[in-house]
């Protein structure tokens, strides 16, 4: 896949930066031909990944950094969200719907990421951090109807 | 995000304006819980007409308050969510346990 454009964001692990991250990634994504609805889905997926990094990865300690790499290709966009926080001990369990370590949360973060993106994977190791890699096809509905 | 609270008998009417995510959730949660306690309200109506964004943090906040008031027989209602917000509410399953209304007066009448 030919790379059209790429950006890297690095920001402190602060709750206020969740909105910054989703708006910035959606603005960058709008260089591709996404619908408004798809841009909304991208915003939710990015928010969920960054929220996880702030709340779970760094346990609300704002001294750390979260990094996002966005790569635009003619097929779509890859978004990588990385933290070097505490990591997830059991990734499979964390991916189960409604799994949450906090009663105030619904355990829907990964569910939304999976539902709204075309491809999604989580790499994590205890004590080493977490990397979420997501891919959103561009014009996916048009492509499907052509076949 | 901005919000206002209005108390009508046992109902706490919460009007939200803006984006509901992690950036505002803690402050809103604290203020909501104190408003519930201070006014002895047991029902909550969230007017979502001016909410432009919500994610699982916002849903968690609503679900947490729902669980809290349900213990005392309280009810919760949602008013006029915009399409993108409504989609998230539906996907989460929250709309299957919390009623949704077109406007505040209808919600008030059904939530007493």
CATH number of the domain within which B79 lies = 3.30.750.24
* Residue A145: band (very low, low, confident or very high) from pLDDT cuts 50, 70, 90: very low
Q: Is residue B35 part of a domain?
A: yes
**Mutation for A interface: B18, B27, B51, B56, most A CBs within 10 A:** B56
> Among all residues of chain B, which has the CA nearest to that of A44?
B55
Q: Is residue B110 part of a domain?
A: no
In the block, residue with structure tokens 């047991």: B42
Domain count, chain B: 1
Q: Given this model, what pLDDT does residue A140 score?
A: 57
Q: How far apart are the C-alpha atoms of B72 and B82, rounded to whole Å?
A: 30
Catalytic positions of A are: 48, 52, 105
- Is B29 an 8 Å CB contact of chain A? yes
Q: Is residue B61 part of a domain?
A: yes
* Rama region for A139: left / alpha / beta (φ>0; ψ in -120 to 50; rest): left
| pLDDT value at A75 more than 50 | yes
Q: What is the pTM for the complete model shown?
A: 0.92
Sort out which chain B residues have CB atoms less than 8 A from A18's CB and list them.
21-23
Range of the domain at B74: 2-105
Radius of gyration, alpha carbons of chain A: 15
Q: What's the start-to-end Cα distance of chain B, in Å? A: 28
Q: Is residue B111 part of a domain?
A: no
Q: Is residue B112 part of a domain?
A: no
> Under an 8 A CB cutoff, do A15 and B88 touch?
no
Q: Is residue B53 part of a domain?
A: yes
| pLDDT value at B43 more than 50 | yes
Q: Which of A28-32, A73-77, A123-127, B108-112 has the lowest mean pLDDT?
A: B108-112
């Amino acid at each position: 896949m030919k790379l059209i454009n790429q950006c890297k964001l690095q920001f402190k692990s602060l709750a206020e930066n969740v909105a910054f991250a989703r708006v910035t990634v959606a603005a960058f994504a709008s260089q591709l031909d996404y619908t408004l609805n798809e841009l909304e889905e991208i915003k939710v997926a990015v928010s969920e990944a960054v929220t996880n990094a702030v709340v779970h990865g760094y346990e609300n300690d704002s001294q750390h950094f979260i990094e996002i790499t966005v790569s635009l290709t003619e097929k779509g966009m890859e978004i990588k969200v990385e933290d070097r926080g505490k990591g997830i001990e059991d990734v499979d369990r964390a991916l189960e719907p409604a799994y949450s370590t906090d009663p105030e949360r619904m355990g829907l973060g990964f569910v939304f990421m999976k539902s709204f993106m075309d491809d999604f994977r989580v790499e994590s190791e205890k004590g080493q951090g977490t990397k979420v890699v997501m891919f959103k096809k561009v014009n996916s509905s048009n492509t499907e109807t052509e076949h | 995000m901005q919000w206002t609270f209005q108390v009508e008998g046992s109902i706490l009417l919460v009007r939200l304006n803006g984006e509901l995510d992690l950036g505002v959730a803690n402050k809103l949660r604290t203020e909501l819980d104190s408003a519930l306690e201070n006014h002895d309200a047991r029902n909550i109506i969230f007017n979502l007409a001016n909410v432009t964004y919500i994610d699982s943090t916002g849903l968690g906040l609503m679900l947490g308050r729902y669980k809290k008031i349900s213990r005392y027989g309280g009810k919760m209602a949602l008013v006029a969510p915009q399409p993108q917000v409504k989609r998230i509410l539906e996907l989460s399953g929250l709309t299957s346990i919390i009623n949704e209304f077109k406007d505040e007066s209808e919600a008030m009448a059904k939530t007493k």
